[in-house]
Structure 1
Amino acid sequence: MFRYLCGALFASAPFAAAHAESANFCRNSFNPNEAVESRFMGLEYALIAHVLAEKYCGAEPSPMRPRFLGYIEKQGCDSGTEIYKDVEAAIAKMEGAGLKLLAQNGNPKLTMSDEQVQEWASTATKELGGCDALKKAHDAGFGQ
């Protein structure tokens, strides 16, 4: 009897596998109670750290696209995926943005004084480890 039960289970396995969907881990959005992919959780902080290192701490500018989009591609997520598109859009905003727009979280309607912008940059830099740490991380690369 046990052999027949095991045989039936093994025989039905291909049908169950055919209807199963593979998880899409190249996205940012998740449904309730769905497992969250953590590979990309620090990207937003890494992008901000990269920009602060250059615009506040004086690190030598380096292109963001090869570093961050290259990391995403190494994780198996090509240019058609949600995470790739989101990071690409964030890079486009940050590349052209000054420190003030970054401090205003990309909202040009907010009005911050130069003093407020410098205070934000100083606080954010301290929270991310200080200028020395940001420059070191900037120069070392991301995901390499």
Structure 2
Amino acid sequence: MFRIICAIGLSCLSTTVAYGQSPRFCRNSFAPGEKIETRFIGINYALLMYALAEKYCGAEPAPMGPKFLGHLKRQGCGPETEIYRDVEMSISRSEGANLKLLAQGGEPGLSLSERQAQDWAASASKELGGCERLIKLHNSEPESWQ
């Protein structure tokens, strides 16, 4: 009797494993109650810091794509993933934005003056560690930011 119960249990387990799914990675959206993947939670801040380093602090301009998208690929998140597409879109907005548009959060409908944009950049860079730190992060690889 015990053998029959074990055999039934093992057969049920094998079909359950076959239909089991691995957790969904490389995305930003989550269903209610689903565990949140935290690997990429700060990537938008890193993009902002990178853009501030160039547009406010005077760091040598460099394309964001190879650094950030390359980092995602090394993490196993290719062009078909949600996080990759979102970061790619954020990069195109950040690279094409001036300091005023960055200060407006990408909202062209807001009307900040150049002075307000400069004040925002000064305050934001100070909060993020100052221009020296932003330039240092700008020139380093994403793996060293952790």
Range class of TM-score, shorter chain: over 0.9
Opposite residue 99 of structure 1, the aligned amino acid is: L
Amino acid at match of 2:142: F
Alignment-derived partner of residue 91 in structure 1: 91
- Residue 121 of structure 1: how far off its partner (Å): 0.5
The answer to whether structure 1 residue 82 and structure 2 residue 82 are counterparts is: yes
Paired residues of 1:100 and 1:114 also in contact (CA < 8 A): yes
TM-fit CA distance, 1:4 = 4.3
Q: Hey, what does 1:54 align to over in structure 2?
A: 54
In the TM superposition, what is the alpha-carbon distance from 1:30 to its structure 2 partner?
Answer: 0.3
Give CA deviations for 1:38-67 in whole Å, capped at 9, x if unaligned. 111010000000000111111111110011
Measured after TM superposition, the shift of residue 140 of structure 1 is: 1.1
User: In the TM superposition, what are the counterparts of 1:15-26 in structure 2 within 5 Å?
Assistant: 15-26=15-26
Query: Structure 1, unaligned stretches of length 5 or more?
Result: none
> Could you tell me how far apart the structure 2 residues matched to 1:35 and 1:103 are?
32
* 1:142 maps to amino acid: P
Mapping of 1:1-144 within 5 angstroms?
2-143=2-143
Distance 1:6 1:126 in 2: 64
Number of residue-to-residue matches in the alignment: 144
For residues 3 and 59 of structure 1, what CA distance do their matches in structure 2 show? 71
Whether contact under 8 Å (1:54, 1:60) holds in the other structure is yes
Distance 2:59 2:24 in 1: 36
Aligned partners of 2:4 and 2:74: how far apart in 1? 45
SS in 2 for 1:140: coil
| TM-score (normalised: structure 1) | 0.93
The C-alpha deviation readout for 1:67-120, integer Å capped at 9, x for no partner, is 100111111111011111000000000111000001001111110011110111
SS at match of 1:14: helix
Measure, in 2, the Cα distance between the counterparts of 1:70 and 1:4: 53
Change (3 A) 1:2 1:134: farther
Deviating runs (4+, > 2 A) in structure 1? 1-11
Equivalent pairs: percent with the same residue?
52
